[in-house]
Amino acid sequence: MSKYLIETVSIKKYQYIIEAYSKNEAIEKGPYHRHIDEFDMGQHIFSIRPLNEYEYNKDWKEMEDTGPEDVDLEALKDDAEKRYFNYGGTNGDL
């Protein structure tokens, strides 16, 4: 049996009533005001990928054993960004 990492995104829609002179001003003010209504648009799969045994043991086994409350999620997020969002570039290191 294989292991897969499934990442989901939860989308919420908020409605605001804002007094402003322009759309841009309303957009800037929106998030700082209390919303009048909230709709849960659902949870959607963002990505799914297989995990090999090494990767599972290194990055995810501890979280499964202890639960998400006990794991340093910021460290995992930083590690994931380094691994999966490396766009390359020279950095002047040529």
pLDDT of residue 66: 61
For the chain, the structural domain boundaries read 1-50, 52-86
Helix (H, G, I), strand (E, B) or coil at 61: helix
pLDDT of residue 21: 93
Whether residue 29 is predicted with pLDDT greater than 80 in this model: the reply is yes
Rounded Cα–Cα distance for residues 75 and 55 (Å): 15
Q: Sign of the C-alpha dihedral, residues 35, 44, 64, 81?
A: negative
Residue range 31-79, pLDDT digits in tens: 788 888 888 888 888 899 998 888 888 888 877 666 555 556 666 666 6
C-alpha to C-alpha distance for 47 and 44, rounded to whole angstroms: 9
Q: What is the pLDDT of residue 75?
A: 66
CB within 8 Å of 39: residues ≥ 6 apart: 12, 13, 14, 15
Return the pLDDT at 87.
45
**Could you give the CA distance from residue 56 to residue 4 in angstroms, rounded to a whole number?**
9
